Structure 1
Amino acid sequence: MQLKKRFRAGCAALVCCLAGVLALGGCSLLGDDSGGPARSGAGAAPHSGASADPAIPYDVTPLLKPEKKYFGAAVPGAPNSMKNVDVYTKTVGKQPNLVEYYAGWGDGFDATGVRNAWAEGALTLMSWEPFDTPVADIAAGRSDEYIEEYATAVRRLNLPVVIDFADEFNGHWEKWGTNHVTPAQYVAAWRHIHRTFVDAGATNVIWAWSPNIVNPVRNVRLEPYYPGDAYVDWVGLIGYFTAGEDNAFDSVFGPTRDQIRTFTKKPVLLLETAAMPGERRRADIRNLFAGVEADDDMLGFVWFDHKKRADWRLEASPLALKEFKRLAADDRFGFDVRKPS
């Protein structure tokens, strides 16, 4: 959303290049599939969706709508380094089981990061952002070599990953948003990417279609941008509790959820959320947990724990952090994704 800045493609590419130069990271066009070292425990304790035969793609079905809620976080440097995830875990008293990161179109697949998160019982969720490549070109097949190589790397690793492409597409503030891309171009690009992954056998991907909440862009209808149930596994809402607006859960997320429910019944994840620091943050956090808990179709949430234009980090508000920690202790939030049932 326009109230924050996230890691963008240039930063991600620079990190990837530095990682390659220093031989510290796992970024490469095809991913780190050389069998190099991962964090302790990598690949341990697979759930029933895993197969002893690498020729069989990982079955993500048990992860699509598990009994418990996802307890996610986006923190700097993760998942290629899990250091800040471990710090976040100590801060909030519970380990995230969904780790979100941002990658520019053209970046390599971070296989090392996926392994790192998996070793700690977490899925990775990659927000794939086409900053310098027109969406229409992607739809027309001009990035096919890149997509095919990326899909092959994902399939080769054969661990579950979540991918959302060109999030906040209904916002005018994005380079792939409403000022630059038509609904038809967006849908064509999404379907083309999805089909390329399927053709490569990379069915170990959970696809999250991720609009911004409609509150700031109520004139943009979402249905024309929907690729269709055959191409989407989750609806991933992006929305924040901000100052000066009604902070009831249904006020923040309800208009978007209700509109989406007119054309799909796919489960919903709050793919990116947080609350402005200040007096209201404790109440916002209570509303967040209660709203997610009350809706059986709500899979969980990912807290954006960055300082970007606003300080979304929980540590910025000690009293709100205490409330978050209390509510996070609820056993309904969080589970080891390697053993979802």
Structure 2
Amino acid sequence: MASVSGMVVRSSEIKPLAKIILYKCPEGHVTEVPLERGLSIYAPSKCSHERCTQRDLRIDPENSKFIDFQIVRLQELPEDLPPGQLPHYIDVTIRQDLVDNARPGDRIILTGLVRIEQEQISGTRINSGLHRLRIEGNNIEFLGGRGTKNSRKSEREEISPEEEKIIKSLAKSDDIYDRLIGSFAPHIQGHTIIKEAILLLIVGSTQRILQDGTKVRGDINIFLVGDPGCLNGYSKVILEDGRIVDLASLGKNHLEHIRIRMQNEEGNDVATVFHKYENQKVIEIVTETGKNIVGTYNHPLLTKNGWKRLDELKEDDELRVVT
């Protein structure tokens, strides 16, 4: 028995898997063939009745027993991968009540039996010397508090007349588009293009039908690629009580859940997740008073003229610092 965590990236259609197949000969005798192991069932060469010599056997699907069957592909979680490494994946077979439980994009913990299956040479019935691993799943848990498929019901939000009035008023604003972009992760400064992409992905558009009948779908696909902007562990942060501590002292493990109240330019905020990255290229900034900060090239700092990445800073730029 093994338990692995990962993200579902592919799921097959639901198919009936034969648990017991019944074969009938022309004389009406029944031959029962059970599924013993794996996914292969070998048809009998002749009738199993001791006095029958018939070899023309046909499947009786109405009296055979089938169960729901599906194959899903489980891939390593992106946050568990070292920078630049491609994720590994494994195919998982699930049956009966687990079918259609996990869908692409779900993060799950899967428990099951590890099987080794022999591969066949393509286009032939010759068995290959190669084998592949497969997990026969028997339990699925969702990461992050997700429920089962029975609890996934989209609830329609009821909009009150007052809220509808506010929405229509906002729609008439000239800067509504910029305000919507700024509403995404307002505590993260900059990254306007990424926030705009997320907005367009969520809102989408209407389907268009061209004059030649071609349909242009309204939904869009967005692929975001980028390295995380971060500071080194010796960088200082200010806690709510005024203490100044090293960033590394806030946690130990990557994506560790924390709850630490800190100060920022707008007042107080709560840090909830500790990020830890290794082997990142960094740059050091030194001020005229001797203060220094080390971080990745794309980490933003607050200047007199707004937020800038570390690699965008130039001499004579004024930074906001704590004294």
Fold match by TM threshold 0.5: no
Higher strand share: 2
Report which of the two structures shows the higher radius of gyration computed on alpha carbons.
2
TM-score by length of 1: 0.19
TM-score (norm 2): 0.20
Using CA pairs under 8 Å that are at least 6 residues apart, name the structure with larger relative contact order, 1 or 2: 1
